[in-house]
Structure 1
Amino acid sequence: MPQPTQYNATLAGKVALVTGAGTDGDGIGIGKAIAIVLAGEGARVCLVDRDAERAEQTCATIQDMGGEAFVAAGDVTARADCSRFVEETLGRYGRLDILVNNVGVATPVALDAEDESAWSRVLDLNLTSAMLMSRYAVAAMIRNGAGSIINISSIAGIRAHGSLAYGPSKAAMAALARELTVLYGRQGIRANTVAPGHVLTPLAQSLLPEEMRAKRRNVGPLGLEGDAWDIAHAVRFLASDEARFVTGVHLPVDGGVSEIGPMAGHALIEADARATH
């Protein structure tokens, strides 16, 4: 999907905070695409990243298209930084309406490792960061009488992925959103989860050879490979007032991959092979 060129101001007047909003070079990662689409729809955006230079690239793109954004650099696993991100957003824009918890890492973790540092790092970055950001965002959103929190999980949190820490951490992000839904729904807070799958990002492109990408496409019901814009459009909807009655949802954006069983996947691959011979 190409970068959008037309928007409908569905988020005009709203303020968003997106974690992991930077991307190396000219690539479009999920956080960067989300920030661009939210800004394109009229939201003013706080761009959080541990690397200020990466977030500045996203900021420049938003400003070039006439949007408004600023960069807040720091560590989303540090309580003080999470509080500061929200306070800087409130100081600059006076409110916070949308939080997108997008930071994530897929560091391999071995069950027989000598210590638990790798396990702890994955859970801290993927899950604890979302809890900390939500803690400070919810307090700000309650002042508005409403707010939308969107966690970026993964289909690895729905189906086994062969990753000891990543899958559990992503599944827990969806559980966190459901709990926030119940705890703060009466105060106008909605919380949802988007689960990307088989999406081509700069990181995936650097790790996956073309043969593996072809296999990913072939196993999906649509036979397509998603991109960051597909995820950004799902987030845009959940952030908007159009989704005012949508909360607690765990939405896969994966071309249907998480809904098929092993035999269906095998049949799709075989059918594709027959069609190309």
Structure 2
Amino acid sequence: MNLYLENKRVLITGGSKGLGKGIAKLFMEEGASVGICGRSQEALEHTRAELGSELLILQGDVTSREDRERILREFTEEYGGIDILVNNAGGSNGSAVLETSMEEFEEAFHLNYLSAVGMSKLAAEHMIKNEKGTIINISSIFGRESGGKPTYNASKAALISFTKSFADEMIRHGVRVSGVAPGSVLHPTGNWQKRLQENPDQINQYVQQNIPAQRFGTVEEIANTVVFLSSERASWVVGATLNVDGGQSYSNF
């Protein structure tokens, strides 16, 4: 299936490793012009060496308003605009609610939620002028049900809600907003890989008991969904956040 993504201008936050890196790789294979941003210049350069010199790398912290504005400005100056934004930057912190400081809750919301809101608003200003564009927010199945750490669950729930609200606002301008909620995914730099190495019996038991597909998801499976939703083949998907989880989630919507 031709997704018609040749020469589309794609910016991916948190793109130097894990899901972001896999998403960037697949967009590049589809012929898109891709830029990634991340905090570590070393990691960004390593990813460019692996994926190809045509990959644009932009160092910055998306929890910073100034960095968000600079990243978007440098990207649009390089490519002349933006067609697709993938808000992938995120992370997990804290533990049980009573053992987690308010500062950690605030950090989680800045990273997992407010950074995506800020980047979306900036990108949308460009997309409205062209009367087209796509924004994809990467949340989690734990934004719909408690499963991760409380800071993570709450901030990803906020992102799912924002996705629907912003989608309803933007579609009249020709801009589609939707989301992907991954389940447990195994990749070299992820928490599941670390936990699997530390306690393989326990983690394998978790998989057997909690994932009907009886295995972890892969980066490629998440990336495939993101790239499809970014294309015109998904033109009637507006405001939905799609679970991509091998049946792991308990929700039936």
In structure 1, what is the Cα distance between the partners aligned to 2:4 and 2:217? 23
1:249 aligns with 2:240: yes
In structure 2, what is the Cα distance between the partners aligned to 1:20 and 1:241? 24
The runs of 5 or more residues in structure 1 that have no matched partner are 1-6, 24-28, 262-277
In structure 2, relative to structure 1, the CA distance for the partners of 1:44 and 1:194 (3 Å cut) is same
1:197 aligns with 2:172: no
In structure 2, what is the Cα distance between the partners aligned to 1:144 and 1:182? 18
SS at match of 2:121: helix
Contact 1:16 1:96 in 2 (8 A): yes
Per the alignment, residue 99 of structure 1 pairs with: 85
11, 23, 26: which one aligns with 1:17: 11
In structure 2, what is the Cα distance between the partners aligned to 1:63 and 1:9? 21
In structure 2, what is the Cα distance between the partners aligned to 1:196 and 1:118? 23
Residues 10-49 of structure 1: CA deviation (Å, up to 9, x unaligned): 31020010011112xxxxx111001111111111111100
Aligned length: 247
Please show how residues 15-94 of structure 1 align to structure 2 within 5 Å: 15-23=9-17, 29-63=18-52, 68-94=54-80
RMSD, aligned CA: 1.9
Contact 1:198 1:216 in 2 (8 A): no
182, 196, 200: which one aligns with 1:210: 200
In structure 2, relative to structure 1, the CA distance for the partners of 1:112 and 1:81 (3 Å cut) is same
Displacement of 1:260 after TM fit?
Answer: 7.0
Contact 2:112 2:156 in 1 (8 A): yes
Per the alignment, residue 174 of structure 2 pairs with: 188
In structure 1, what is the Cα distance between the partners aligned to 2:58 and 2:235? 28
In structure 2, relative to structure 1, the CA distance for the partners of 1:225 and 1:181 (3 Å cut) is same
Moved over 4 A (4+): none
Contact 2:3 2:228 in 1 (8 A): no
The runs of 5 or more residues in structure 2 that have no matched partner are none
Residues 166-215 of structure 1: CA deviation (Å, up to 9, x unaligned): 10111111111111111111001111111111210222201333223312
In structure 2, what is the Cα distance between the partners aligned to 1:49 and 1:260? 32
| TM-score for the superposition, normalised by structure 1 | 0.84
Displacement of 1:59 after TM fit?
Answer: 1.8
Larger Rg: 1
| TM-score for the superposition, normalised by structure 2 | 0.92
